[in-house]
Amino acid sequence: MAARPVVISEVLYFLVGNFDLFDNETFINNTAEFFSNEDFIDAQKILKLELENVKIEKFEKPTSRGNTRRDKLLVLTQILIFLKEEKLMDKCSIFASVNLSNVPNFENVIKINFEILKNELKNMLYTQHNKLIQTLDVHTQDITSLKNKLVQTIDVHTHDMSALNNKINCLSYNKDKNTSKLNINSVPSAVNSDMNKQAVTSKPAMFWSDEITTPTDDNPLPYSVVVRNKKSARTNNSPVANQVNPNDQSSLKGNPPNQPNKIIGLKKCATDKLCAEKIIVKKSVFAMSNVKKCSRSKVVEYLSDIGINVLSCFPVSKLSTVPPGTTLNNDDIESTMFRVCVNTADATKMQDPDNMPEGVIIREWHFTSKKSEETSSINNG
C-alpha cells in the first residue's frame, strides 16, 4: 500500500480532528471567526483535488449558501462528512499543521463567543426595530385617515345640531308668542266705553264673552237701563276747594279738578281720643255672568273658599220676572249673573282666570253717570 501524502492545511487539520463538533453552532461560529477567508478558500481547493484523486462520480457538489467565512466552513464540513461516511478518509492525504499557534485552542472554540452573540442580537433587534417602525408608519396613516373622517363626521353633526337648535329656538319663540297672546285675551281688563267703541270698529268679529247677553237668557239685556237727563254739576263755593293746589298738576295746567281733594288717614291710634266712625274699605265691583242658575250664597261660598273677601253679592234679574208689588229675598233668587263687590286687595284674584270655573265670565261692573230710577237688582240691605 502506497504511503499517503502529507498536505499542509491548518483548517483541514483542525476540522478532521473535530468531526463530533460539526453540529455544534458555537464551534462553527468560533472556527469561522478564527480563520481567514483565504484559509477557507485554500482548504476548498485542497478538498477538490482530493475528490478528483479518489475519482468519485456520485458526489454532488454542495451548493454555496453565501460568500461569508461561515458559509465556506459549512461547505468544507459537508465534504468531510461525505468522505467519512463513504470511508474514503484513508485514501485521502494526511492534513497537517506547521505551526500549532495557527490552530485555535479547543477550549476557546467550544466556549460561547459573546461578541458574535451580541452582534447577532444586535442585528436581530435592528431588523425587528425596522419592521416595527414600518408597521407603525402603516398604522399611523390609518389612524390619521380615521381621525380626518371622525373630524369630518363631527363637523357634519355639529352643523346638523346647530340647525336643530335654531329650529327649537324658533318653535319656542312662536310658542311663547302664542301663549302671551292667549293670556292677553283671557285676562279681563278695565276698558272704558270709548275704547270699546274703537275695538268694535277695528275688530268686526267680537268674542262671544264680550257680548252683553248671557247664553242662558233670551232677553238681549239681562237688566233694565233707565236713561235720565244729565244734570249740571254742583259748584263748590268753599274758599278751600277753590284754592289752587301747587302739587296738583292738573290745576297748574289750567284744568280744574273734577272733585275736591281728600285724604284718608292711615295712622293707627292706640287711644280712643280720636278715631273713625267706620273703617273705609276700597271696593271693586265685578259682574259675574254665564253662571249656572244658583243663589248668591253659593257664589259667596265659592269666592270665600279661594280667599276672596266678598263685601256684597246681589243677583241680577230681569224686571219682567218680578211681579209688581212683590218683595223677594236675595237669598231665594236664583240667577245666572251676579253683582259682586270685593275688597280692592282681592281684585287680582277675581281677575285671575285660574281661580274661576271654566266658562264663567268676569268683567268690571260698568257704572252709569246717574242712578237709574228703576234698579236692576233687588237689594234688601
Report if residue 253 sits inside a domain: no
Report whether 65 contacts 74 (CB < 8 A): yes
The pLDDT tens digits for 93-120 are 888 887 777 777 766 555 555 666 677 7
Report if residue 193 sits inside a domain: no
pLDDT at 240: 47
Report if residue 241 sits inside a domain: no
110: helix, strand or coil: helix
Cell numbers at 319, concatenated = 224686571
Beta-strand relationship, 283-289 and 338-343: antiparallel
Report if residue 327 sits inside a domain: yes
pLDDT at 379: 46
Look up the domain containing 328 and give its range. 279-381
Mean pLDDT value of segment 17-43: 84
Give the predicted TM-score (pTM) of the model: 0.30
Residue 247 pLDDT > 70: no
Cell numbers at 177, concatenated = 308668542
Report if residue 182 sits inside a domain: no
* Domain end (from 94, 112, 130): 112
Report whether 315 contacts 298 (CB < 8 A): no
Report if residue 83 sits inside a domain: yes
Report whether 318 contacts 223 (CB < 8 A): yes
pLDDT higher at 265 or 225: 265
pLDDT at 48: 84
**CATH (domain of 353):** 3.30.70.330
Task: List helix spans (H) across the chain.
Answer: 10-16, 25-34, 37-54, 69-85, 106-110, 114-186, 193-202, 239-242, 249-252, 296-305, 347-350
* Domain end (from 112, 128, 147): 112
* Domain end (from 81, 112, 143): 112
Overall domain count for the chain: 2
User: Measured between alpha carbons, how far apart are the two ends of the chain, in Å?
Assistant: 170
Mean pLDDT value of segment 78-106: 80
